[in-house]
Chain A
């Protein structure tokens, strides 16, 4: 295949990748990009070109050793449900965007520690990226059968680098907040993971079943090769220990590699996705490894004695059989593996570089006073420049240094360097005593040991086995031989370096942590990390801080990064979350932690702390005090939860009480009004009686006619008094349910006519015209006649009282409906005030103006009417839409049409 053709394929492939990233970025909330499978496959960024090509190389050269890299993760993955979930929670609430943030925040939000972790990562990963570039370049030349070019302008890798840098810097820095999810990148990586697996399985099947005749065939043929047995047995205890350390090493790597931290933690959308990942990811690794061995030994059989690089067997085999398509597919799989690693690693490293090194040590000062737009541009640009420089650096390393090394060895060196973060990382999760001093000492010492036992020998040249330094130790001191430190001679260089560096690292981390207690901030974060589940919802509560701070000052800082709107929104959320009054001007510990969190995604934890600290005044706080507060806050959290529950309960009850009380007060008012009305009504006749009696008593020469009149008055007022008492008792009976209704079949027209007759005198007195629109047929209904007479009497006498003085007219009509019988009593008087429509039937009703008198007795009368009608299962109301006067209507159920008649 010629270069141009392959290059064209690469361009198309990259274009598809760009498109996928673009598409999923736009659909960042769709279930296509936001599911557990995308998450799980994105974790397979673990399988780089090293897995893709290197495993085959290792299997071909040294048998089963390649397996350790996959066994470690597979063994540790079941614990993800606990450990990974914990890390995800800590990172989510603290807005952590890289492993440097994670470790430095735990150890007191230390700027130096963040920078140190970043340096370690860059040291470990950049050569590893260079390795990926090398694999792209090597395989490209194998597929095109060309020699690698010394001229960087004719080297394809240069252009691939450029494209990758563009891609990563475009999709990797879309958000200023580094803790934001990058759906585009993640989906593209997940897709690449699927592709590289499929391509690898295809070549595996091709080699096993098409080139050879199944697994057995390969095994039988391979068994004839020399060294087969030696390469495929674990050589005793020492080899077993090597295995053990390599497994532990890869176990750490799956947590600590920046790209793994990025895909597993930073890009995790839902904790639940872990559930899928814990079976799917190991399954993926397993599938990837099925054909490593057949391809490796198939290659060994096919190319015996030809001295080919065993790393590239998967390309050489299809090429040997002139299968161009398959060769290109395999190449694309390897290319995918390489570029997804490069992209994710670069994004992760560049975030660390900017958030933990460049900003806190570099241009934080200039961020302090610039506008939001300017700041965001600077932050994003610093990350873009970071990505470019990392790729350029890797490219340089690839061009200058590691053209000679195998994929496997450089990958493992990276693992060992990254493993230096293990003690402080896992200590952060489970050990409260771990301190910053211990961490820093541990990492520096561990790294130094790595440097001595791995990096120096590698730099001198692994291949130059004659090197005095390696063979005899510096200055001939055998105890210091870099590959056999202190006489430890049965470990391979990688496990050897891993063992010593981690031993010293862990020991110094623990010893110093125990000997010198850390400061209060470290202890504070230790609590928040170790007990994350307790603080998950209100983690700001766990932050301890004392001093003076003003919300407005902090707000100004926030605005420089978040802008005015987002700051305002965030403040509202905070106030709602903690039920804080928005007018409060001083900031408390919770608010300071909240503000730091808001900035963390943009500029990292260390810079966030520095910026917030610059506008607040913190008081010294002692470690014992912190411990005391933590103890209290732990209790408080529990008590608070209970209190909140109780207080909600109380709130509910108090609302009920309030309502009940209101009702009571209302009833009380009504009762008072009733008593007022009643006493007034009672006193009026008594007054008249008393006045008349007094006159009769004192005045002896009163004319006879007048004397009679006064006596008559006394009689009528006494009757009135009696009627009033009857009414009150009546009402009381209805109220307490003592009143009985005796239903019988009656003719409503007759009842009304009879009632009108008894009112004749009143009607005549007021010279009122009464029209009774009788119905033609009899209307029978079931009711207590005496009671209905009472109702009609009341309504008609009211109508008489209210009708106009001149030309007064009352119209009474009956309407028979299907369900009921309606009696309407209308007068042409002044009508009812709007506000009184409902109230007139209340037993103690008084018009709004308390001193305006109602017609005598009506207050009680209508109330009684209502009770009577209600006892008949009817309704009584005053009609609202009346042009003139007032209309009262009551209904009685019509049993003539109902089924139960």
Chain B
């Protein structure tokens, strides 16, 4: 069973994602901000991390930087999920080493497909 970590501070979005990925046979972990995510990552090694960019305290970019510094987490696939859809936001997100940058609002179905592709 593949593991996925969803990091977002919007409970309703998280709820939709949690339901969808569970249905698609993922083991789902949830964090409400970057700090919580890093906390979880101490014990878990998910295949995919879905990261919101704008979050209180530790934002998505900073979280990814932490992840990339950690040798153990290096091979996690990371998808940014953000309402910031300017080209420069997307570029800087990918430059940090994210595998995908998905802009909000997004199609749940398509996101699942993309995650599958990444984990194959």
Contacts and interface: CB of A to CB of B under 8 A. Distances in A.
Interface of A: 676, 679-680, 683-684, 686-692, 694-695, 698-699, 702, 706, 709-710, 713, 716-717, 849, 851-855
Given A690-B105, A851-B84, A855-B56, 4 more contacts: A684-B83, A694-B109, A695-B19, A717-B12
B86 to A, nearest CB: 8
B95 interface: no
B59 A851 contact: yes
13 contacts: A680-B83, A686-B105, A687-B105, A688-B13, A692-B16, A695-B16, A699-B23, A702-B19, A710-B16, A717-B12, A851-B54, A853-B9, A853-B55
Contact of A687 (B20, B61, B84, B106): B106
Nearest to B93: A851
A692 B12 contact: yes
B36 interface: no
A691 B109 contact: no
B109 A684 contact: no
Contacts of B57: 852
A687 B108 contact: no
A688 B108 CA distance: 10
Contact of B108 (A680, A695, A849): A695
Contacts of A710: 15-16
B107 interface: yes
Contacts of A851: 53-55, 59-62, 84
Interface string B85-120: 010000000000000000011111100000000000
A713 B19 CA distance: 14
A683 B105 contact: yes
Contact of B55 (A689, A694, A852): A852
Contacts of B12: 688, 691-692, 713, 716-717
B110 to A, nearest CB: 10
B53 A688 contact: no
Contacts of A706: 19
A867 B23 CA distance: 48
Q: Is the interface of A mostly helix, strand, loop or mixed?
A: helix
A473 B86 CA distance: 114
Contacts of A713: 12, 15-16
A717 B10 CA distance: 11
A710 B105 CA distance: 16
Contacts of A683: 83, 104-105
B38 interface: no
A684 B10 contact: yes
A226 B40 CA distance: 140
Contacts of B55: 851-853
Nearest to B52: A853
A836 to B, nearest CB: 14
A467 to B, nearest CB: 112
Interface string B47-86: 0000001111111111000000000000000000001101
Nearest 6 interchain pairs by C-beta: A691-B16, A851-B59, A683-B83, A688-B12, A687-B105, A687-B104
A702 to B, nearest CB: 8
A849 B17 CA distance: 27
A695 B20 contact: yes
Given A680-B83, A683-B83, A713-B12, A691 B108 contact: yes
A848 to B, nearest CB: 12
Nearest to A830: B57
Nearest to A701: B23
B105 A709 contact: no
Interface in B5-54: 9-10, 12-13, 15-17, 19-20, 23, 53-54
A852 B59 contact: yes
Contacts of A695: 16, 19-20, 108
Contacts of A688: 10, 12-13, 16
B109 A698 contact: yes
A684 B55 CA distance: 12
Contact of A849 (B15, B59, B106): B59
A823 B61 CA distance: 39
A694 B15 contact: no
Contacts of A849: 59
A706 B16 CA distance: 10
A680 B84 CA distance: 7
A853 B56 contact: yes
Contacts of B19: 695, 702, 706
A695 B106 CA distance: 12
B23 to A, nearest CB: 7
A684 B104 contact: yes
Contacts of B58: 852
B101 to A, nearest CB: 13
B60 to A, nearest CB: 6
A692 B59 CA distance: 25
Given A686-B105, A698-B109, A849-B59, A691 B54 contact: no
A683 B105 CA distance: 6
Contacts of B23: 699
A282 B104 CA distance: 100
A694 B105 CA distance: 11
Contacts of B105: 683, 686-687, 689-691
A855 B32 CA distance: 13
A680 B103 CA distance: 11
A694 B108 contact: yes
B84 A676 contact: yes
B62 to A, nearest CB: 8
A695 B53 CA distance: 23
Contacts of A694: 16, 107-109
B20 to A, nearest CB: 6
Nearest to B58: A852
A706 B12 CA distance: 12
A698 B24 CA distance: 13
A690 B57 CA distance: 26
Nearest to B56: A853
A687 B10 contact: yes
A680 B53 CA distance: 11
A257 B102 CA distance: 99
A706 B23 CA distance: 13
